[in-house]
Amino acid sequence: MKVADMFQHNGHSYMAYANRLTGWLELAHFPRGTSSSNIKTQLRHYFASWGALEQISTDDGTNLASEEIGEFFKLWLVSVRLSSAQYPQSNGRAEAAVKGGKHIIMANTGSGGNLHTDKSSMSMLQYLNPPSLRNK
């Protein structure tokens, strides 16, 4: 199952897109904001590369609650799951992906929150490669 979650770090917007079974993680930076159109463009890219989400976790923020995004999710058969302080266990896997994503970007992003740097790419590779494969 694939999940996605939006989050903020140092004033920049990001999306973590993760596979619950394999732990595979993808990160996207939204330098031009999290409009419905920008989110749809990024999700379409992920869907074409990794398969459509089965579920997306949202705190019901306006960027994922718009009619435009709702229609997009219906088209792609994506279920929407509410996550908030009211429901602390509702998206633990997505939150784990977000935690991993935040750890990667903390000291590895370029100016303006850019993820396209050698440091962030190397950090992502280290995150994705299990320790047993790193020592071979």
d(CA 81, CA 91) in angstroms, rounded, equals 8
pTM of the model: 0.76
Confidence class for position 45, pLDDT limits 50, 70, 90: very high
Give 120 or 1, the one with higher predicted confidence: 120
Amino acid letter, residue 25: L
Confidence class for position 134, pLDDT limits 50, 70, 90: very low
Chain segment 52-73, per-residue pLDDT in tens: 888 776 666 667 778 999 999 9
Q: Is the pLDDT of residue 75 over 80?
A: yes
d(CA 31, CA 37) in angstroms, rounded, equals 13
Amino acid letter, residue 77: L
Dihedral sign for Cα 62, 53, 24, 124, please. Answer: negative
Amino acid letter, residue 45: H
Q: What is the pLDDT of residue 61?
A: 66
